Structure 1
Amino acid sequence: MSDSVFILVLLPISLFVILFSLGLALTLDDFRRVVVYPRGVAIGMANLLVISPLLAVGLALLFKLPPELAVGMVLLGASPGGTTANMLTHLAKGDTALSLTMTAISSVAAVFTVPLLLDLATQWFMAGDAQYTVAMGPIVVKILLITLLPLSIGMWVRSRAQAWSLRNEPLVKKIAMVFFVLVVFAALWAEREHIFGNLASVGLAVLSLNVLAMGVSFGIAKLAGLDGPQSTAISIELGVHNTTLAMAVGAMVSATMIIPAAVYGVFMFFTAGAFAKWMHARNS
């Protein structure tokens, strides 16, 4: 598969299917639930929007990643929670309702937060390189189309055909998972030369981000007085990102920027799955 086919065809289609499947699982009550869990949502969103990007920046500097990979790390840290986080939270006996709410809100907020952090990261790591000047307007519009449009369509279908949505949601999620696996391996193959040249540093960086983000967010949630299921939901939300969105946004600037998210997509199921299994026993 050529890079252009991957970037122009498979990546947008995969993101559309993944976010449509999320929308199919959401109702307006998932957004209203912020009133029910104000502290849990506030702490979870603070972790997603502040702690995770800062960890990504720190690790990019620590591992001395090349500029494009460093920006890709920040995009990864800035990306919202993924749909798989909700499933793993359920398996871990965590607060699935809180997980759904955080995924919904962070996916909408990503329209503004992801391009903002992309701009800041590009200015920081690529200062003076005119080739990578980010035009915020077009990127915001593109992110709006590739995130809110499929999410809204999924929610609209759920509201108009609830019985059909509930019956077919598991199938749509399985299809979304197939697309996710395809897009991760297509990204790894398309950028294999760059990956092999930076495999050790990128692999250690994204694995560190995954483990640190889950550990730090769990600790913050517990220190804030949240219970085990809520802390579990927040931690898994920080461990399972929508890496397809991070890749799609990175590809708008440079194909190399997709590498951290692609490599992260391989690791996150093993680490987050192990954490979910451990918390299942603790939350039972």
Structure 2
Amino acid sequence: MITQAALPLALAFIMFAMGLTLDAGDFRRVFAAPKAMVVGLAAKLVVLPVLALALVLVWRPEPDFAVGMILLAACPAGVTSALLTHHAGGRIALAATITALTSLAATLTVPLLVNLGLGLFAGYDRSVEIPVAKMTLGIFLVDTVPLALGLGLQRLRPRVAERLGRVARPVATLLFALIVVGAFVSQRQSLMDHVGDVVPAALLLNLAAMTGAWVLGTLARLDWADRIAVVMENGLQNGALGIFVAVTLLGSPAMMVPSIVYAFVMNLTAIAFIVAVRRRRRVVTG
């Protein structure tokens, strides 16, 4: 179901659709009061990778799964993060800004952290040739370029971008679901064999990421809407990018297993978080 050609094309379309939905005015408002953005980026680019590294060092899964967990933590926010932030009552502009900036930064952060993971874990059992240049170029072409094109069209032709976005966003969400399901089908035996290794680790990482983001937001005294956005952005990962890097750039289907599992887990915890914050809002306002 996942092919070498279909996966990068689908991911590129997802990133293009994301760019179409981002408003320049929203960016300006976020940058005008950047504290929440800085907290969100710190959680995403520093806290989450550190948590993943600590978890892997303690959990000690198989080398491919260990690298896959580091790869997952290096990925930017997921394509549904802004939508789920909206349902939770968070600040959509902040969520969209963090998603865009971490997606642009992925060209650097993903190769850097995957290189670290391969050196620390996979190198113990076998010699690994790290395709840093290929990985950087691949991520740039399927992640950064399509996002920039979507942003450019939104900037130059906002009405066209709005019309395209109405169709592209649901299609992108569907493509994301198909990528995850396709990856699950192709790796179902590996998932069944190692469910006890990967599922608890993915769930623990997700809960730790969301909790860490909440603590950072609280310490920074962010308002409720900003704190929700930071939590959702830190809990939702672009699993499609993790699958693409593992399969297409690293040639290791086993390394995409953590991304597959996390993609299922993160949506369940996100829904639980939405229910919790909505219930709290009803109690406070009622």
SS of 1:132's equivalent in the other structure is: coil
1: CA distance between counterparts of 2:129 and 2:3? 20
2: CA distance between counterparts of 1:37 and 1:275? 26
Q: 1:158 aligns with which of 154, 169, 188?
A: 154
Give the aligned residue type for 2:185.
W
In structure 2, the gaps of 5 or more residues are none
Counterpart in the other structure of 1:121: 117
Contact conserved, 2:24 with 2:155, CA < 8 A, in 1? no
1: CA distance between counterparts of 2:157 and 2:195? 46
Counterpart in the other structure of 1:22: 18
Q: Does 1:264 align with 2:262?
A: yes
> RMSD over aligned Cα, in angstroms?
1.7
Mean CA deviation greater in 240-249 or 53-62: 53-62
Q: 1:49 aligns with which of 45, 48, 54?
A: 45
Mean CA deviation greater in 144-153 or 131-140: 131-140
Counterpart in the other structure of 1:279: 277
SS of 2:5's equivalent in the other structure is: helix
Offset of residue 58 of structure 1: 2.0
Counterpart in the other structure of 2:96: 100
Contact conserved, 2:79 with 2:173, CA < 8 A, in 1? no
Contact conserved, 1:111 with 1:140, CA < 8 A, in 2? yes
Q: Does 1:141 align with 2:162?
A: no
Counterpart in the other structure of 1:172: 168
Contact conserved, 1:7 with 1:248, CA < 8 A, in 2? no
Give the aligned residue type for 2:230.
I
Give the aligned residue type for 1:152.
A
Contact conserved, 2:20 with 2:164, CA < 8 A, in 1? no
Deviations 1:246-271 (A, max 9, x none): 11112221111111001111121111
Change (3 A) 1:190 1:232: same
SS of 1:81's equivalent in the other structure is: coil
Query: How many percent identity over aligned positions?
Result: 34
Contact conserved, 2:9 with 2:142, CA < 8 A, in 1? no
> What TM-score comes out, normalization by structure 2 length?
0.92
The aligned runs of 1:224-239 (5 Å cut-off) are 224-239=220-235
Offset of residue 138 of structure 1: 1.8
Contact conserved, 1:222 with 1:228, CA < 8 A, in 2? no
Give the aligned residue type for 2:276.
W
Give the aligned residue type for 2:14.
I
Counterpart in the other structure of 2:5: 9
Counterpart in the other structure of 1:223: 219
Change (3 A) 1:118 1:84: same
How many residue pairs are counted as aligned between the two chains? Answer: 280
2: CA distance between counterparts of 1:232 and 1:42? 15
Offset of residue 159 of structure 1: 2.7
Contact conserved, 2:176 with 2:240, CA < 8 A, in 1? yes
Contact conserved, 1:202 with 1:260, CA < 8 A, in 2? yes
2: CA distance between counterparts of 1:153 and 1:170? 17
SS of 1:258's equivalent in the other structure is: helix
Offset of residue 137 of structure 1: 1.5
1: CA distance between counterparts of 2:117 and 2:105? 18
Contact conserved, 1:94 with 1:229, CA < 8 A, in 2? yes
